Amino acid sequence: MSQSDNQIEVDDKTGRVSDPFVMFDDWFKQAQASEPNNPNAMALSTVGADLMPNVRMVLLKDVSQGGFVFYTNYESAKGTELLKTPKAALCFYWKSLQRQIRIQGPISEVPPEEADAYFATRPKDSQIGAWASDQSRPMEGRFDLEKRVAKFAAKYALKKVERPPHWSGFRLHPLRFEFWTEKPFRLHDRLVFLRDDVKAVHWTTQKLFP
């Protein structure tokens, strides 16, 4: 993850954290130390063609001031939905910390060279899986998938696996963060960061009733 190593910055006038990315970095580092499995797991919510929301778990692969990056098959349900309606919401929940972060914003595609660089770091079996799986489409039986895996494993047995043209990444550019901390008697703490434009440097903050 390409996160900042800075300490949490606090506004001198309000006493609140001034940069939600720095606060995310602090919480995420704590989650990496306390969560037993996949601290980078996040719920991704998209908008379907019928305007119904659609949610599933994905893995965060990079985060910076530019946004939150994850990778997928562009022909999958989430891929087609994001290409048609490029906006989404994320939700991290770390039970060990009793904390949650919700993030909303527009989506953009990562540059091809960035996707190539990440794809090259994946295990070869995962690279082959990206070619073999017609993600989100009907499958008659497990044997269909196994045949496709065998086909592409043979094709790339002695050479580098190229990134499939239909497999790449998306970056969510936050316009809104909400940091939630569980408190006794359901009097939870909620802190929201807002900005009107993804290029804006300054955020407004507000506390919410639980």
Q: How confident is the model at residue 10 (pLDDT cuts 50, 70, 90)?
A: low
186 is catalytic: yes
- Give 181: exposed, middle or buried? Use CB within 10 Å, 0-12, 13-18, 19+: middle
Average pLDDT, the chain: 93
Residues 6+ apart with CB under 8 A from 78: 44, 46, 54, 56, 58, 72, 136
CATH code at 20-120+165-208: 2.30.110.10
Output the pTM of the full model: 0.90
pLDDT of res. 18: 87
Active-site residue identified among 122, 171, 186, 195:
186
Residue closest to 63 by CA, chosen among 113, 96, 103: 103
Separation of alpha carbons 210 and 205, rounded Å: 16
- Give 92: exposed, middle or buried? Use CB within 10 Å, 0-12, 13-18, 19+: buried
Q: Tell me the per-residue pLDDT of 21-45, one tens digit each, with 9 for 90 and over.
A: 999 999 999 999 999 999 999 999 9
pLDDT of res. 4: 37
Q: Tell me the per-residue pLDDT of 148-202, one tens digit each, with 9 for 90 and over.
A: 999 999 999 999 999 999 999 999 999 999 999 999 999 999 999 999 999 999 9
Q: Tell me the per-residue pLDDT of 63-82, one tens digit each, with 9 for 90 and over.
A: 999 999 999 999 999 999 99
Domain boundaries, the chain: 20-120+165-208, 123-162
Residues facing residue 208 across a β-bridge:
190
